[in-house]
Amino acid sequence: MKGICVLGATGSIGVSTLDVVARHTDLYNVIALTANINIDVLFEQCLAHSPEYVVVVNAEKAELFKQKIKNSAVSGIKVLSGAQSLEFVSTLDNVDSVMAAIVGAAGLLSSLAAAKAGKTVLLANKESLVMSGDLFMQAIRDSGAKLLPIDSEHNAIFQCMPAGYVAGNSVKQARRILLTASGGPFRETAVKDLHNVTVAQAVAHPKWDMGRKISVDSATMMNKGLELIEACLLFNMSPDDIQVVIHKQSIIHSMVDYVDGSVLAQMGNPDMRVPIAHAMAWPDRFESGVEPLNIFDVKQMDFAEPSLERFPCLRLAYQAIKMGGIMPTILNAANEIAVDEFINERIKFTDIPVIIEKCMSFFTAEDAGSLDIILKADKDAREQSYKIIKEIT
């Protein structure tokens, strides 16, 4: 039995993870679940999985949760609050694997704590790696932790690497990564019409069921930009050797092009339980609950190069990783602020890349050699983004 801690249990990745766990209760034991404010879903998860610990980051919600479980079958659960408690449960002795599924920069410290503690890190929080880059990868190497990617694209690339591959290593025979993208809801929308995009339209992803922030990132293709940065770190490749490919059917989840002319692709139905089950069972495999891909239902597969005019956020991500240092941190922080402002209908959809680019222009690519530097860059970029928003609205 392996003990698992699910960071971000009530989000889409957390829910899918617990669905997979429920199919393999002989292999996995839930030690800890965490959430920010969604205590109703968390309560149902506790009834189903009986964790030892629960973290509700919001202190007020944590008190409400304590009252909620008081006279229930799970009244013995230890309930903690505060962001620091996320690091505590990530490093518990009886936790073997940590599903890092907290969205955004909020997931950095707990993901990094799990890496430093030598856990098997199931990384769904791409922002942790984007922000901390080499620092995160060094923590994995120093502690002997295992790093397994959960994003469908990175998990697909991992599966297409040679047997025994370890994240962070380069493969000389792999000359190129083809990073697929659905293109989101606006891949065919006239560029002139993007100015009028509503929040409801932006979060209506055609293929994947995701939270609002990630759905907006997919609509701008910043999600793919963050994944590009993540892929450079996970697979030790230059951004020039990673090509983003729009594949609207979302059947091929990414490909690796080898020097002998072979291109290996991982295929499957668009369901996050596939990469989750792969990482949880690795190096073996087990059932995920996902319907098998019926190849005869795949009438055709289309591939296209993304337009950087339509998706300027992708251009900015390439720029950030090539500049290096703190620039990916700046990119991520500015994007989180801009997306939140858009979701709250305070800026236009097309303002998102404008804010990010203006914010990036304010900073230089200072070396990101310590956590303090990274956290300061994140804070400064958020403050600068708010200033820019005031100027343009």
CATH of the domain at 9: 3.40.50.720
Distance between CA atoms of residues 127 and 289, nearest Å = 28
Of 153, 141, 114, 360, the residue nearest 267 (C-alpha): 153
Ramachandran quadrant class, 325 (left: phi over 0; alpha: psi -120 to 50; beta: rest) = left
**Co-location of 174 and 143 in the same domain:** no
Please report the pLDDT score of residue 57 as a whole number: 96
276 within domain boundaries:
no
**Co-location of 58 and 130 in the same domain:** yes
Q: Does 206 score more than 80 pLDDT?
A: no
318 within domain boundaries:
no
Return phi, psi of residue 136, to 5°.
-65, -45
Placement of tokens 């005869």 in the chain: 296
Identify which has the larger pLDDT, 203 or 351. 351
288 within domain boundaries:
no
Question: pLDDT, tens digit, for every residue of 222-255?
Answer: 999 999 999 999 999 999 999 999 999 999 999 9
Please report the pLDDT score of residue 268 as a whole number: 96
Task: Please compute, for residue 227, the number of CA atoms within 13 A of its CA located in the half-sphere on the CB side.
Answer: 28
**Co-location of 161 and 76 in the same domain:** no
Distance between CA atoms of residues 156 and 152, nearest Å = 6
Question: pLDDT, tens digit, for every residue of 14-31?
Answer: 999 999 999 999 999 999
54 within domain boundaries:
yes
Of 311, 340, 360, which residue constitutes the final position of a domain?
311
Please report the pLDDT score of residue 203 as a whole number: 87
The CATH number assigned to the domain holding 382 equals 1.10.1740.10
For 294-311, what is the mean pLDDT?
93
133 within domain boundaries:
yes
Of 149, 180, 212, which residue constitutes the final position of a domain?
149
Q: How far apart are the first and last CA of the chain?
A: 54
362 within domain boundaries:
yes
**Co-location of 87 and 21 in the same domain:** yes
The answer to whether 260 and 251 are in contact (CB under 8 A) is no
Task: Please compute, for residue 359, the number of CA atoms within 13 A of its CA located in the half-sphere on the CB side.
Answer: 36
**Co-location of 125 and 35 in the same domain:** yes
**Taking the CB of residue 367, how many other CB atoms lie within 10 A of it?**
10
pTM: 0.93
Q: Does 68 score more than 60 pLDDT?
A: yes
**Co-location of 65 and 189 in the same domain:** no
**Co-location of 306 and 388 in the same domain:** no
Please report the pLDDT score of residue 212 as a whole number: 86
**Co-location of 109 and 232 in the same domain:** no
**Co-location of 83 and 117 in the same domain:** yes
Angle, helix 351-361 to helix 371-392, in steps of 10 degrees: 130
Question: pLDDT, tens digit, for every residue of 148-203?
Answer: 999 999 999 999 999 999 999 999 999 999 999 999 889 988 899 999 999 999 98
Domain tally for the chain? 3
**Co-location of 43 and 106 in the same domain:** yes
The answer to whether 75 and 51 are in contact (CB under 8 A) is no
Of 121, 149, 177, which residue constitutes the final position of a domain?
149
**Co-location of 28 and 103 in the same domain:** yes
34 within domain boundaries:
yes
277 within domain boundaries:
no
**Co-location of 305 and 156 in the same domain:** yes
The domain containing residue 19 runs over which residues?
2-149
Q: Does 211 score more than 80 pLDDT?
A: no
